[in-house]
Amino acid sequence: MTARRGGGTTARGRPPAASPVSVPAPSRGPEASRLPAACRRAERPERPEELAIDAVFDNLDIFAEGLRRTVELSLFAAVAALIGGTLLATMRVGPVPPLRWAGTAYVEIVRNTPLTVVFFFVVFVLPRLDIVFSYFTFAVLALSIYHAALVCEAVRSGINGVDVGQAEAARALGLTFGQNFRLVLLPQALRAVLQPLGSVLSALIRNTSIAAAFGVQELTGVVQRLTTANPDAVIAVLLGGVVGYLILTLTLAVGLAITERRLERTR
């Protein structure tokens, strides 16, 4: 039995198979069909610019820990540098030639050496000599070695500024060099060089940032860690670190100004 021409059935009376119809995928919006996925992700940053400061406020405890570590590092190094620098100044103005030569050699070598090189020597050379400490102790040692030379020059300039007649009068009274230095020269020299010493200590606070490259997580180390974790808030994190150093240096400047005024009243 043959099929009828123009009919809607096959030879066996079955309807013809329907051709497949393509169904369009649901649209995600007029712009989604025109932009590749990478571009769409780029238009949605992880943190809006106006919220970048949240990277600082959300990590205030980490900033505080880095600031505390910087304060500890600065205090220990400052005390050691003041003691060492005063002893070096005593050697340089003393009556014993070998001590003068040793003090002069130390100051000229150390203050003309970059602080980073001093750090490398302390951190990598001393352990080869079986002198092993923590990285924090190594950082304190490097900072105090370097800044002791600067303190020495500041104190020595103050000693040289004291009237020679006072030292001669002290010797005429029978005072030894040690008594003359401790009771006559040093008190007047420290009053005269309070501001230069403040500049040295301020530089010491800023130079603690080098310790971050040698395993000490102080303020700069914290800033480096947070900028790595928050690449969309680098400027805000850096400004947070700057504010931390400003707090320390301005506090030091205010303290020195108050001390200087009090010393002026006691003269």
pLDDT in tens, 127-150: 999 999 999 999 999 999 999 999
Longest Cα–Cα distance in the chain: 148
* pTM of structure: 0.76
Say what the pLDDT of residue 87 is: 93
* Euclidean distance between CA atoms 126 and 217, whole angstroms: 21
Give the integer Cα–Cα distance in Å for 267 and 192.
12
Angle at 200 between CA 235 and CA 116, to 5 degrees: 65
| pLDDT < 50 positions in the chain | 1-15, 17-45, 49-50
Structural domains of the chain in order of their starting residue, each with its CATH number: 54-266 (1.10.3720.10)
- pLDDT, position 168: 77
Going by C-alpha positions, the residue among 115, 87, 114 that lies closest to residue 102 is 87
29: left (phi over 0), alpha (psi -120 to 50) or beta: left
